[in-house]
Amino acid sequence: MNTAHPIELFIAALINLFEFICYVINELAGFHTSQQSSNRDTEPQSPSETQTTPHIQPFHSFNQFTVKQLRQLTGINNSRYRKQDLIFQAVACM
């Protein structure tokens, strides 16, 4: 059976139309950036060339804050939290 049924062609056309509409919506919303398209054309970098930056600040940087400053930073006004708990919450917020 080498011929395609017209309904199958219609369903395939609807799927492609839906995919195109989703692509245009994402393009208008700004989800497809030029950086992403340029990354597809380049070769992947080796692990030694990529620079890693920590996403979380180390705990010792929050040790310099007072409990009052940590409460303001985290938005926790409850006095039952110790300084270490507030530091943990501050790191989680960052």
- Ordered by start, the domain boundaries in the chain are 1-41, 55-94
Express each pLDDT in 1-27 by its tens digit. 678 889 999 999 999 999 999 999 988
CA distance 85 to 79: 11
**Residue owning tokens 């409850």:** 78
Express each pLDDT in 34-91 by its tens digit. 554 455 555 555 555 555 555 555 555 777 788 888 888 788 877 787 877 877 777 7
The pTM of this model reads 0.34
